[in-house]
Amino acid sequence: MYVTKIYKNSLVTLSNDEITTEEVAIYPNPTKYVIRIQANQNVEKVVLYTVLGEEMFQSSKNTIDMSGMSQGMYMLQIEFSNGSTITKKIIKK
């Protein structure tokens, strides 16, 4: 077996009829204030969770103000307009 393509900072999602690649940049990470989401697909919804699964924030915007949140690790779930989702770790300083 050999690898034909390597996708840096991307997620390959398999379904029955298609293969999609969502490339996402989340910056700055770690952050003290606002994080920005840049993706090659339209972002439908973003949800920020604590590591315990408590929902902290939900939006359809590509920015999240984390200045009022406690320091620690969070999970950011991003849903795209094509129905695929990814989850990324966010560190709040």
Query: What digits encode the pLDDT tens for the residues 40-82?
Result: 889 999 999 999 999 999 999 999 999 999 999 999 999 999 8
On whether residue 1 sits in a domain, the answer given is no
What CATH number is associated with residue 31?
2.60.40
Q: Which domain holds residue 22?
A: 10-92
Q: Cα(91)–Cα(38) distance, rounded to whole angstroms?
A: 17
Contact predicate 89/77, CB 8 Å: no
Q: What is the Cα gyration radius of the chain?
A: 14
On whether residue 36 sits in a domain, the answer given is yes
Torsion, Cα 25 4 84 28, to 10 degrees, reads -10
Average pLDDT, the chain: 83
Q: How many domains does the chain have?
A: 1
Indicate the helix (H) or strand (E) that contains 13.
strand 10-14
On whether residue 80 sits in a domain, the answer given is yes
Q: What is the mean pLDDT of residues 17-43?
A: 83
pLDDT of residue 22: 64
Asked whether the whole model's pTM tops 0.95, one would answer no
Helix locations, 5-77, DSSP H: none
Look at 36 and 23; give whichever has higher pLDDT.
36
On whether residue 2 sits in a domain, the answer given is no
